[in-house]
Amino acid sequence: MDLSTDEIARRIDHTLLKADALQPDIIELCSEARKYGFKAVCVQPCFVELCVSELRDSGVDVAAVVGFPLGANCSEVKAYEAQKAFAQGAREVDMVMNIGALKDGNIHKVYEDIRGVVEISSFYPGTLVKVIIETALLTQEQKVLACETAVWAGALYVKTSTGFGGTGATVDDILLMVKAVGGKAKIKASGGIKTREQAEMMLEAGADRLGTSSGVAIVLNR
């Protein structure tokens, strides 16, 4: 894969999810996303309206996290979070899977949890759902099962990590996830991607999107 800097930028979700992020930080995030042509910004739900306003007519989408960072919210709460974000103008939501339910073997609960958010998305044309499976907490078999369940529930992306759950994206996980989704969903690599080299490795392995707070450093190859 030989991608230009602009092509890599269009794969980046420029991310700021720190608990102490301030409004000026979010405005700067949006300014950088507009300047460098990133695909989206990814923020906490409380900042969706601000980002939509800052990025109007920029071509940069707004993504909001749902059930973040633990994934243990009630399914109805996740669905409401998604509905609120879409109503405010977000085009994407990155929801955290119910990790405990998956590890318990309660696949029906995992499915219903994801499906509830996907169904909300269906009322807002052009929106999509990414499912964060938190790979650092799963066995290889559980990663495959998580990917298969996300696809079964209708998610268009499966994402590696929140960035808050230990290790982040690895090439091996991307390769495994690409195989598990079987072309029925795309993969977002996130967590620990800080350099151009890492970004290129994830894309080469099959990731379609990159979640990172280091987007500027990546495109400037610093």
Which amino acids are annotated catalytic? 94, 159, 188
Coil, strand, or helix at residue 48?
A: helix
Coil, strand, or helix at residue 102?
A: helix
How many Å apart are CA 42 and CA 52, to the nearest integer? 11
Dig out the tokens for 75 from the structure. Answer: 């399914």
Q: Helix axis angle, 171-181 relative to 196-205, nearest 10°? A: 30
Strands (E), 56-177: 61-66, 92-96, 128-132, 157-159
Are 82 and 124 within 8 A, CB to CB? no
CB atoms within 10 A of CB 173: 25
How many Å apart are CA 142 and CA 108, to the nearest integer? 14
Instruction: Using alpha carbons, list the distances in angstroms from residue 43 to 13, 57, 115, 135, 145.
Output: 10, 19, 22, 21, 27
**Distance from the Cα of residue 45 to its chain's centroid:** 13
